[in-house]
Chain A
Amino acid sequence: MTQRYADGKFGDYGGQYVPEVLMPAIEELTDAYERYVLENEDGFMDEFRARLRDFGGRPTPTQYAENLSERYDREVYLKREDLLHGGAHKLNNALGQVLLAKYMGKERIVAETGAGQHGTATAMAAAHLGMPCEIYMGERDINRQRPNVFRMRLNGSEITPVTTGRGTLKEAISETMRDWATNVEDTHYVIGSIVGPHPFPSMVRDFHSVISTETRRQLREQTGGLPDAVLACAGGGSNTMGMFTDFVDDDGVELYAVEAGGSSLEVDEEAGVAPNSASLSTGHEGVLHGARTKILQDADGQVMESHSVSSGLDYAGVGPELAHLVDEGRVHAVNVDDDAALEAFHRLSQLEGVIPALETAHAFGYLEENHDELGETIVLNVSGRGDKDLEAAIEETEARDIDIAPSMAEFSGGI
């Protein structure tokens, strides 16, 4: 486990900005994180790794992508987190935190979810470890992600719709914090990304760092060296930091966090709406959901509603460590708009037989547009599979003119 930023401050970012009622629970969690995760007390990490292997299906492969490599005339590799149990990287963190809650003697799990991937992973981990679980999800996201809602219910979790604001991830996080503040004595909040108060950003990164540990080893075995560029999509940033962590000290490896450019990078200050979720690229330093980080906000500091074709990236903040690495110049914050992401969704599906999550498609959109500048060997994190996004993809595809997309017109009514 990495011990970077053990105090919870990433340069100017990070910290613990939460109601006092939660502070003792956060102190308790910090203590548990240090003992069990960093020091492997009672063999916690051994059990975590064993469960990730046997229940989760790790290691996931790093696959050479023949057709993409031919298209771009360079070596392209895919880290296949979509093959992890549940279909996304999210299980690494959810399993780690639910197991930690069990070691801490907690009796109940709460979580929030945007696209439903984190909720699904948490519901699976909670069922696997026998913990009752309640998941908050924005009403709008429930409508966008019905298959994941059903999966969570199948695994025995309660789903509570959140109707405040626009009914997306930002509101779901606020509502889960309220539940945690009310039931803090016996409940653990499994936060879904590298956001929130310390120790969450460090702890979630550590649980996901297995992605880069494996990628580094697998690439060395396959190529004898390290990649020139590593790409991952970035919403809150959990798959991003999971994919970057073991490469941060490799100066020759360029790291690209690909954000959701949405429909535009311009914001409507008057309406309080950013038609994108690119908080690293266009946000400003502020305090949201327990941490100081880059957020989409107006000049007064009110947090803006964000937008992305991918509900998993649709969040007005980002992890404080990632914000710091961008400020330091170690990570390039770039973005891809909705159209390019959707086109890449179709391209990857056709060229490689991998249907990516719409989140992941953003990284492939960036590859399409910028492959010439990325060096000879490129690795992308396929953070999740696209099954959950099929309803949204059909709708969004129909609303656009995408040359490579299959037409569904002749099958109307059949889907």
Chain B
Amino acid sequence: MRRAGSDLEAAFADGPAFVPYLAAGDPDYESSLAYVEALERGGADVIELGLPFSEPIAEGPTIQSAVVRALEAGMTPDRFFAFVEELDVDVPLVCMTYYNLLYQYGSEQGPRPFVERAAEVGLSGFVVPDLPAEEAEPLREACDEFGLDLVFIVAPTTEGERLHRNMEHVSGYVYVQARTGVTGAKDDVSEQTERSLERLADYDVPKAVGFGIKTGEHAERIVAGGADGVIVGSALVDIVAEGVENDTPTEAVAARLAEKSRELKAGAERGYAQRVPQAEGN
């Protein structure tokens, strides 16, 4: 069953989607605004914005460090919403965070107040890495009420009946986790990706692959292999981290992020071009 959602699926309609991730507020509020806006200049179709949580159990060292920097610079859920309102971007924004922050927000416990506020500031949906389908009903209901999408992660270990159950909850796009483990840029593309895309082939929802994608060439291979989009986090966060380490001016870091985004987006488009003749031949 396809759920009511926002505009996320449309972002995949005209070719492959490039979906970058940055932690909001990393390394500070003002720089982070410039960095996220640079992603759009580089060709982002959807942006995943991390709302930092103190226990990011699905993240590798790169994003863990980004989360620590953002928290130390004072990022909170309320500041996150202000950040989203202040951002000058036109592409859909997805909030990526852990369930406890959604659960605690507002005067009543449960995810509804957070989702309501997210809708007010114009967010399009959520990725919640520690919320499997089994526990997702309250968030699913709130998302349906306010017209937001709930993106689920499908892991290489998600198979059979479990895969089918998860896919019933997905809206917007499905986040295909390229390999087991935690987030982090890798030097090669996992073979697990191919098998995951094969398992998902019959489901009519955009498939965006994430975890470990680092270069335009990776993006090309993944889209050529059947993905509808690529999600890239750690390779971009690395640029922010280098900027912090070398005390690089904000504009220069933003320019590098835009440049890296163009490389990844171009790679995805090359991959898509390899698929089109094949599609026409069918």
Residues of A within 8 A of B (CB): 15-25, 27, 164-165, 170, 174, 177-178, 181-185, 272, 285-290, 295, 297, 299-303
Contacts and interface: CB of A to CB of B under 8 A. Distances in A.
Given A16-B135, A174-B57, A21 B99 contact: no
B132 A181 contact: no
Contacts, number: 118
B100 A301 contact: yes
Contact of A20 (B60, B71, B76, B132): B132
Contacts of B153: 19-21
14 contacts: A17-B99, A17-B130, A19-B57, A20-B132, A21-B181, A23-B134, A178-B60, A182-B181, A184-B180, A285-B109, A289-B57, A301-B100, A302-B101, A303-B100
Contacts of B71: 302
B182 A181 contact: yes
A301 B103 contact: yes
A290 B135 CA distance: 11
Closest 7 CB pairs of A and B: A301-B104, A21-B155, A182-B181, A287-B100, A24-B157, A19-B58, A301-B100
Contacts of B181: 21, 178, 181-182
Contacts of B54: 165, 272, 302-303
Contact of A21 (B55, B101, B177): B177
Nearest to B80: A300
B243 interface: no
Interface string B63-106: 01000100100001110000000000000000000111101110
B129 interface: yes
Contacts of B131: 17
A23 B130 CA distance: 10
B58 A181 contact: yes
A23 B180 CA distance: 12
B156 interface: yes
A36 to B, nearest CB: 22
Contacts of A178: 57-60, 181-182
Classify the secondary structure of B's interface with A: loop
Nearest to A163: B61
A20 B177 contact: yes
Nearest to A23: B132
Most buried by B among A15, A287, A300, A303: A300
A18 B130 contact: yes
Contacts of B166: 20
A287 B130 contact: yes
Nearest to B60: A178
B158 A24 contact: yes
A59 to B, nearest CB: 38
Given A182-B182, A185-B180, A300-B76, A177 B57 contact: yes
Interface in B30-45: none
B183 to A, nearest CB: 10
B154 interface: yes
A182 to B, nearest CB: 4
A241 to B, nearest CB: 23
Given A24-B157, A181-B58, A301 B180 contact: no
A15 B132 CA distance: 10
B282 to A, nearest CB: 31
B126 interface: no
B103 A287 contact: yes
Contact of A184 (B78, B105, B157): B157
A23 B100 contact: no
A311 to B, nearest CB: 19
B102 to A, nearest CB: 8
B53 interface: yes
Given A287-B99, A303-B55, A25 B157 contact: yes
B162 interface: yes
B168 to A, nearest CB: 14
Contacts of A285: 109
A20 B55 contact: no
B158 to A, nearest CB: 6
B159 interface: yes
Given A182-B181, A297-B104, A289 B55 contact: yes
Contacts of B56: 174
A199 B114 CA distance: 29
B77 A300 contact: yes
Contact of B64 (A164, A182, A286): A164
Contacts of A16: 132, 134-135
B98 to A, nearest CB: 8
B180 A170 contact: no
B99 A20 contact: no
Most buried by B among A19, A287, A290: A19
A341 to B, nearest CB: 27
B55 A15 contact: no
B272 interface: no
Given A23-B134, A301-B53, A301-B104, 17 more contacts: A20-B129, A20-B157, A21-B158, A21-B177, A21-B181, A27-B162, A164-B68, A174-B57, A184-B157, A185-B180, A287-B98, A297-B104, A300-B101, A300-B104, A301-B77, A301-B103, A302-B53
A184 B76 CA distance: 33
Most buried by B among A165, A177, A178: A178
Contacts of B103: 286-287, 301
A297 B56 CA distance: 15
B21 interface: no
A185 B159 CA distance: 13
Contacts of B57: 18-19, 174, 177-178, 181, 289
A17 B135 contact: yes
A183 B64 CA distance: 19
B152 interface: yes
Most buried by A among B55, B78, B105, B166: B55
A20 B131 CA distance: 8
